[in-house]
Amino acid sequence: MKKMWKLAALATTASLLVAACGSSSSSSDTTAAPAAAATDVKVAVVYLGVPDDKGWTYQHEQGILDLEKNLGITVKRVENVADNADSEKTFEQLASEGYNLIYATSFGYGAPMANVAAKHPDVCFQWATGAKFLLTKDGGGAFTDFAALPANLGTYFGAAEEARYLSGMAAGKATKNNKLGYVAAFPIPEVLRGINAFTLGAQSVNPKATVQVAWTKTWFDPTIEKQAAESLLDAGADVLGQHQDTTAAGVAAEAKGAKWVGYNSDVKEAAPAAWLTAPTWNWGPYYTKTTKTVADGTCPADEYYGSMADGLVTLASFGDSVDADTQTAINAKAEEIKAGTFAPFTGPITDQDGKEILKAGEKAEIGQLLSMSFFVKGVIGSAKG
Amino acid sequence: MNGNIWVLASADSVAIATTLILAALGALFTERAGVLNLGIEGILLTSAISSFLAADSSGSIWLGLIVGSLVGALLAGIHAVLSVVLRANQIVAGLALVIFGTGLANFLGKPAEGKTVTTIIKPLSFGPLSDIPLIGPIVFRQDPITYASIVIAIVSSLYLFRSRPGLELRATGDDPATVDAQGLSVASIRIRYTLFGGLLVGLGGSWLMLAQSAAWHQAATTNGVGWIALALVVFAGWRPMRLIFGAILFGFTLQLPFTLQAEQITFIPSALMQMLPYLATLIALIALSRPSTRNKLGAPKSLGIPFVRDER
């Protein structure tokens, strides 16, 4: 009798485990059916999170929906794929199922994707936020040099710093005590570039503005992001910016009557009173154009770096507290950026210690931007994290 | 003075401690009855998302808190059935509950992804009291559930050590055979307190959702708080009063890395600071899983051991 109870207990425990495993990871199972469009391209996209996160993945999903509408095709989504070596299985499976264009939306997919790309030269791979340099020996990767990289692998990303500069202008105008705070994920060039652009934007309308940085060492963790935001508010900041994937900083700012610049998506409703604006992405045109190119028989293997000019980078709607004058000034600056007459990283720019980085009138080159490792004057905190 | 970052960080620590106090109290009641429930993290997550869905669809925070608490009790009920009725290995059952709770929460959370709770639990203001230097922000600017959690902990202490049912509870965890000989049902007592424990954990998870994080972000919503709560019970020696101070201390260490950054104190790497609460948790869980060490720390003597009458 006792044995039977034990068996029953074991069975129940095991079934709980099985049930849990079944529901913890999910992928939508829509097979790509080539529709009316004159294209035999089968497209798949691999997501780090879920399409509804109102953050990074959500913006990509909007772009993919755009693509489906524009070309009349159905795209297969694979959700919740961790961006580590395990993702190689996902790419391998998609390639062997006959998908011939695969988009992957996180930095960590690079190396696994390149391995699969080398094995499937007939499949086109596109790596968001990627940098081919990092796949070569010199960049810590497995391929001897650029020439050895698979020719069926491209990267895509964009100049978020342009919109960050504009959002910094809104922040610089909104602050009453000239103290801005910035909740930041990791001390890598992409994030440092954003913080510097935000700071320069704020200083362009408010020379006394300073930006204090709190590092969270995570892209996605609302609890830690909120604690970091609260510590900045406690330290006296009255406007927060962020390079994080949740709205936690906005919730913290709203609760303490401060202002907030978001990131990724137009999510005013997360913190309506705190909302100023946010740098956002519009991936639709890129996805549509690239998919068309692949359908026509070419796999773009270049490193696409979009901008406000081509519409990849945008600024979200303004909050109620952003006055008309500020909006006009920001919109005017946005036009200059689009026209190419202004770039956020234009000298004179000095770093935290007062060392000159760019002479007056000198513009930063793309290489300088992509390898940025310093903070500009006015940022409080360590650029090493 | 009241704008001082250390005063404000202390006030934040007391607030952060709310979930820790409630979840750890829930674990404490369960363990005092002799049942080890390692599934706290899974219960926290499921009750958090349940409270979100209830509050979001009804517009009422209070309904959210009630639903979240009941869901906590319901999940603890699974553990009670497995460990008390079926006498399964409690460590395995608890771990299964973590995985099940996480999966269930992610499933339930599908419609909540990217949404924010529109009405969150707000701190109270006591007029001039809230402006007293130092203690104003720390003592008089918290929200109702934070106050309630401390009151519940104090009442729990009185109940455990000054009341007849409290004595029976402690006896069930220490020496169930004697309780059984008194004509009381060990199984019934263990099931009741496991359910009650789940209710408190559920309240903690609901508060975390409706006051602290305000948006659903899957497993990152709780971020291991359930494990810290389990450790807290060990460090508090299974005593509710010590648990209050332990929770505030843990809350402070969770907040500290950012306060140090804000104060430009950078000689300790922030990543190392962020690791500390979890390191403490690891040590406590090792102690908890070894019967000899946990008895030295004052654990209930029959913790994790199913009671079987015919084996006496």
Q: For residue range A229-242, what is the model confidence (pLDDT) as tens digits?
A: 999 999 999 999 99
User: Greater confidence, B220 or B303?
Assistant: B303
Nearest-Cα distance to chain A for B152, in Å, is: 24
Q: Which residues of B137-175 are buried (b: 16+ CB within 10 A; e: fewer)?
A: bbebbbbebbebbbebbeebbebbeeeeebeebbbbbbe
The percent of residues above 90 in pLDDT, for chain B, comes to: 57
A24 and B106 in contact by Cβ < 8 A? yes
Q: Is B130 near chain A, with CB under 8 Å?
A: no
- Give mean pLDDT, residues B225-244: 93
Give me the pLDDT at residue A10, please.
54
Domains and CATH numbers, chain A: 30-158+283-306 (3.40.50.2300), 160-278+316-380 (3.40.50.2300)
For position A3, what pLDDT does the model report?
53
Q: What is the mean pLDDT of residues B206-235?
A: 87
CA distance B183 to chain A (A): 23
Note down the domain range covering B278: 5-311
pLDDT at site A38: 41
Average pLDDT, chain A: 87
Q: Quick one: how far is CA A360 from the chain centroid?
A: 31
Taking all residues of chain B, what is their mean pLDDT, rounded to a whole number?
A: 89
State residue A36's pLDDT score.
37
In this complex, is the C-beta atom of B1 within 8 Å of any C-beta atom belonging to chain A? Answer: no
Chain B contact probe: residue of A2, A5, A16 with most B CBs at under 10 A? A16
- CATH number where B176 lies: 1.10.3470
Asked, as a colleague might, if the bond just before B144 is cis with ω within 30 of 0, I would say: no
Specify the pLDDT at position A14: 54
Asked whether the predicted pLDDT for residue B260 surpasses 50, the reply is yes
Task: Determine contact: B47 vs chain A, CB below 8 A.
Answer: no
Q: Which residue of A has its CA nearest to B16?
A: A227
| CB pair distance less than 8 Å for B116 and A251 | yes
Band of pLDDT at residue B274, cut at 50, 70 and 90? confident
pLDDT at position A366: 81
CA nearest B13 in A: which residue?
Answer: A227
Average pLDDT over residues B271-300: 82
* A153/B312: higher pLDDT: A153
In this complex, the residue of B102, B214, B223 whose CB is nearest that of residue A24 is: B102
Q: What was the pLDDT predicted at A344? A: 94
Given CB atoms, is A180 within the 8 Å cutoff of chain B?
no
What is the number of structural domains in chain B? 1
Per-residue model confidence (pLDDT) at position A140? 82
Tell whether A270 lies on the interface with B, counting CB pairs under 8 A. Answer: yes
Residues of chain A short of pLDDT 70, as ranges, are: 1-39
Residue A378: predicted pLDDT: 94
